[in-house]
Amino acid sequence: MSVERVAELFRAGRLAAEYPLVRGLLSAADGDGLRRAGHVLERLRPDDVLREHPDTSVLTVAVIGHGTVGTVVPVLTAELARHGLLMRPFLGDFQGYVVELGDPGSDLYAADPDLVLCVLDPAVVFDEVGVPWRVDDVERVLGEKVRLVERLAARFAETARGTLVLNTLPLTSHATAQVTDHRSRARLGAVWRAACSDLLRLGESNPSVVTIDLDPLIAEGIAVTDQRQSLYAGQHLSAELLARYAREIGHLARHLAGLTKKCLVVDLDGTLWGGILGDDGVEGIEVAGGYRGRAFTAFQRTVKQLASHGVLLAAVSKNDLGAVREALDKHPEMTLREDDFVRVIANWRPKHDNLRELAGDLNLSVDSMVFADDSAFECGLVRRELPGVAVVALDEEPALHAARLLADGWFDSRELTVEDRSRPRLYREELVRKDFLDSFASLDDYLTSLDVRVRLEDAADTHVSRISQLTLRTNQFNLTTRRLQPADVQAFAAEPGRRVLAVRTSDRFGENGLTGAIFVRVVGEVLHIDNFLLSCRVFSRGIEQACLLAVLRHASAAGLREVLGTYRPTAKNGKVRDFYTRNGFVSVDGGADGGVDRAADGGVDRAADGRADRAADGGADGAAWFRHDLDEIADPPAHVRLFDGLAVPETGGTAS
Amino acid sequence: MTTIDDFVALLRDELGLDVGREDLGRSLDEVAGWNSIHLLALATRLERVSGRPVVLPELLKAGSLEEIYAAAVGP
């Protein structure tokens, strides 16, 4: 079995070398299997894996809390491995979270974690209420703890660059049953929920915080506490609940590592409706009528709900396209209509070929796709041919389709942006553009008639979420692939001499929204371009040249001597390897000192502000440097209209 | 689980520990890969396979894998 294979590889000393296989081996593992695999995987040294596979995404995850929380480490290691990630763990001391978060010199901060899981449990409160306690005592301690956690979270935001994960405190009958009158018991529930509510709202005011609501997880039927493990070992949340929590953290980690899925591809017969369209006809399929029809409608509603959050929906079905279109357009009970899909593909080709082609048309990687099908054959084939695609295996029970699709939070993200809401429309327009392109004899004719407009401006506070998201989602046109949380973006922009530029684009088909960002920094007489990102929807239309040349013109006007750009290779950004050299830059010999003044490279303030330097950091990991001496700046592409909204600084020394 | 060999198999399969019978008498500090979290996971597994509750304080006091086995299957 797959989990045993992980153990075998470990015993044979080959697990690090074969780490890319682990994701597939664990893809169908149940909770028990993940726990067992976790005990093996936690013994694997991340550096050994990185030596063999330097492109593996690695996250440093700290686990701290009030009680014994180490149980979460192995299962979390397996959950991250299941998504192809590698975890570097840091385990805090028993009851150590206050000191660890509160002291900027703590080992926790020294570990420079990407994620800090501060696992809170009911004992945080009941250890301090004394005996006998009244509901007033609980209310008082809850208030103190919430304020404490707020202060610790603020300290975290000032000190660290990562994400702090809190959780709500579960209230158990073990507590409520110790209050014997119903009036007080109800009040206990009310004050408890009010405190949890404050914890849940903390992320609204502190962008470093994510709060996991444990109630919906517990409602799946998971015991909150094992009294013996709580009393004897200080583990106040059950191993089952910690494992379920770890699964949620896996989804968050996948998002933070830039691996959020973007496109949901569904089968039709047996998946969106019952029956076989080709045999039963449009009138004969089960859509809403009857018991099973009800289940298919429920699934369609769930799919539509996900699509409203910016998930691109496509259908791939072995059917005749005409019949499928008729079913989607004409069936009176259908919830999903053709307009809800960015593309409906119905033909008789292998599904993996259709998925590959769809990914190409949408300019996405197949790894960003989730495929849901009720046929074990089709699921197996896609798994084998396209191992990066997440396969949701459905079966003949449509009532469980939605739960299976939702079980893995494939599309979870931190925050929804305006662009997310309109993404499906934008991609549909993109496919129209592609058809438009196909009607032109040359690319130049096409670009000229496309009427591309670009607005380059300093990023405003309202752009921070979207720019962070671009750093998290963009893999191809991403010169350094530094993943930045919203607070990282803010911190970068707040530093003197540093600017974050926002790129907004539109064309004859409509607005594309905020599709790019440029991170720049002035050191002495040199402008550094720390990162340059552009959504895969809009590159190769001259937008990137127009923006880069505008930055060069601003640098020249500000009297700067030269511009340095950085490129850090990853598995997915090979396309932009020569971006700088194609635009008048020359390669600076690599290496640590290679002609680039590394001492001036933010070194002085590196210790002072970890967040800002997270964005600026470059060079140590295969990064290449390119220089433009500003003597000759090329003309921008004629077909692009640039609206230069960059503020000119009051004094010299920034990009303008 | 009835025999000491079953116990060794459990340690290997459930916790991924590379241990044999010769390791059972060692102090837990000297068992390669052992950590205190393993004890809680092991307690749960022992209960599941043996079908009877373990006395957790006895397990927590154990200084070697042998003593854990004795506490789990003992009278």
Question: What span, in angstroms and rounded, lies between the C-alpha atoms of B36 and B41?
Answer: 9
Give the orientation angle of helix A19-26 with respect to helix A72-82, to 10 degrees: 100
Q: Residue B27 gets which letter from DSSP?
A: B
**Which pair of structure tokens corresponds to residue A481?**
């692939």
The Cα A640–Cα A449 span in angstroms is 10
Taking a C-beta distance cutoff of 8 angstroms, is the pair A345, A316 a contact?
A: yes
Contact A39, A10 (CB under 8 A): no
Could B13 and A232 be called an inter-chain contact, meaning their C-beta atoms sit closer than 8 Å? no
Residue of A nearest to B55 (CA): A228
Place of tokens 């496309």: A450
Domain that holds residue B8: 4-73
Amino acid, res. A100: E
For residue B17, give the chain A residue with the closest CA: A40
User: How far is it, in rounded angstroms, from Cα A291 to Cα A274?
Assistant: 11
Interface of B with A in 28-57 (CB under 8 A): 33, 35-41, 43-44, 56-57
Chain B residue numbers with beta carbons less than 8 Å from the beta carbon of A7 are 13, 16
CB A315 within 8 A of CB A344: yes
> Which strand (E) or helix (H) includes residue B56?
helix B56-61
- Contact yes or no for A102/A159 (Cβ under 8 A): no
Instruction: For residue A54, give how far its alpha carbon lies from the nearest alpha carbon of chain B (Å).
Output: 26
Of the partner residues A43, A70, A229, the one whose CB lies closest to the CB of residue B16: A43
Q: What tokens appear for A168 in the block?
A: 């709500």
A568-580 exposure pattern, b = at least 16 Cβ within 10 A, e = fewer: bbbebbeebeebb
Q: How many CA atoms lie within 13 A of A508 on its CB side?
A: 13
Nearest 5°: CA angle at A329, between A323 and A331? 80
A431-453 residues labelled b (16+ CB within 10 A) or e (exposed): eebeeeeeeeeeeeebbeebebb
Token reading at A291: 């018991």
CB–CB contact A71 B13 (8 Å): no
Beta bridge partners of B30: none
φ and ψ at A260, to 5 degrees?
A: -60, 140
> Are A229 and B35 an interchain contact pair (Cβ–Cβ within 8 Å)?
no
Could you tell me which of A166, A164, A172 has the C-alpha nearest to residue A218? A172
Closest partner CB to B56 (pick from A39, A74, A232) = A232
Which residues 6+ apart lie within 8 Å of A586 measured at CB? Answer: A626, A627, A628
Hey, what amino acid is at A387? Answer: P
CB A478 within 8 A of CB A471: yes
Residue that has been written with the tokens 């750093």 in this structure: A471
For residue B64, what is the DSSP state?
Answer: B
Q: 3-state SS string over A105-166? A: CCHHHHCCCCEEEEECCCHHHHCCCCCCCCHHHHHHHHHHHHHHHHHHHHHHHHHCCCEEEE
If one counts every other C-beta atom within 10 angstroms of the C-beta of residue A603, the result is: 12
Residues from chain B that touch A229, judged by Cβ atoms under 8 A, are 40, 43, 56
First to last CA, chain A: 60
Contact between chains at A39 and B40 (C-beta distance less than 8 A): no
Distance (Å, rounded) from C-alpha A52 to C-alpha A40?
18
With a CB-CB cutoff of 8 Å, which residues 178-237 of chain A face chain B?
228-229, 232-233, 235
Q: Tell me how far apart the 2 most distant CA atoms of chain A are, in Å.
A: 84
Per residue in B22-53, pLDDT (tens digit) is 999 999 989 988 888 888 888 888 888 888 88
CATH 3.40.50.1110 domain residues, chain A: 57-256
Tell me which chain A residue has its CA closest to the CA of residue B36.
A70
CB atoms within 10 A of CB A477: 25
Q: Indicate the residue of A7, A71, A232 with minimum beta-carbon distance to B37.
A: A71
∠ CA A16-A21-A25 to the nearest 5 degrees?
120
Give the minimum alpha-carbon distance from A4 to chain B in angstroms, rounded to a whole number.
8
Are residues B40 and A71, on separate chains, in Cβ contact within 8 Å? yes
Q: From the CA of B61, how many Å to the nearest CA of chain A?
A: 11
- Min Cα–Cα distance to chain B from A129, Å: 26
CATH 3.40.50.1110, domain A57-256, yes or no: yes
| DSSP secondary structure code for residue A478 in this structure | B
Q: Report how far residue A308's alpha carbon sits from residue B58's, in angstroms, rounded to the nearest whole number.
A: 55
CATH number at residue B59: 1.10.1200.10
Q: Flag whether residue A70 sits within 8 Å of chain B, measured between CB atoms.
A: yes
- The mean pLDDT value of chain B amounts to 87
| Contact check, Cβ <8 Å, A7/B33 | no
Residues 6+ apart with CB under 8 A from A495: A521, A605, A609, A612
A74 Cβ under 8 Å from any chain B Cβ = yes
Q: Which residue has the tokens 């357009």?
A: A329
> Within an 8 Å CB–CB cutoff, is residue A610 touching chain B?
no
Q: Which CATH superfamily is domain A429-645 in?
A: Gcn5-related N-acetyltransferase (GNAT) (3.40.630.30)
B37 to chain A: nearest residue by CA? A71
Of the candidates A10, A11, A235, the beta carbon closest to that of B40 is on: A235
Q: Do A39 and B60 touch (CB under 8 A)?
A: no
- CA distances, A340 to each of A15, A51, A288, A289 (Å): 43, 45, 18, 21
Residues 6+ positions from A28 with CB-CB distance below 8 Å: A2, A393
Angle at alpha carbon of residue A130, lines to A127 and A136, rounded to 5°: 100
Q: Which residues contact A186 (CB under 8 A, 6 or more apart)?
A: none
Using only C-alpha atoms, chain A has a radius of gyration, in whole angstroms, of 27
Contact A619, A594 (CB under 8 A): no
Nearest residue in chain B measured CA to CA from A73: B37
Residue with tokens 């009970």: A333
CB contact under 8 A, B56 and A7: no
First to last CA, chain B: 14
As a whole number of angstroms, the distance between CA A367 and CA A361 comes to 14
Rounded to a whole number of angstroms, the distance from the CA of A175 to the nearest CA of chain B is: 23
Shortest CA gap A96–chain B (Å): 17
Q: Which residues of chain A have pLDDT under 50?
A: 591-610, 612-619, 650-656
How far A9 CA sits from the closest chain B CA (Å)?
11
Which residue, among B19, B40, B49, B52, would best test binding to A if mutated, counting the most A CBs under 10 Å from its CB?
A: B40
Interface-testing mutation among B37, B47, B59, with chain A (most A C-beta atoms within 10 A)? B37
Tell me the backbone φ, ψ of residue A330, rounded to 5 degrees.
-105, -25
CB contact under 8 A, B14 and A39: yes
As for how many domains chain B has, the answer is 1
Question: Which of A260, A227, A226, A220 is closest to A244 using CA atoms?
Answer: A220
Distance, CA of A201 to CA of A187 (rounded, Å): 21
* B14/A74 Cβ within 8 A: no
Q: What is the CATH number of domain A263-406?
A: 3.40.50.1000
CB contact under 8 A, B13 and A7: yes
Burial degree of A1 (CB within 10 A; 0-12, 13-18, 19+): exposed
pLDDT at A612 (0 to 100): 46
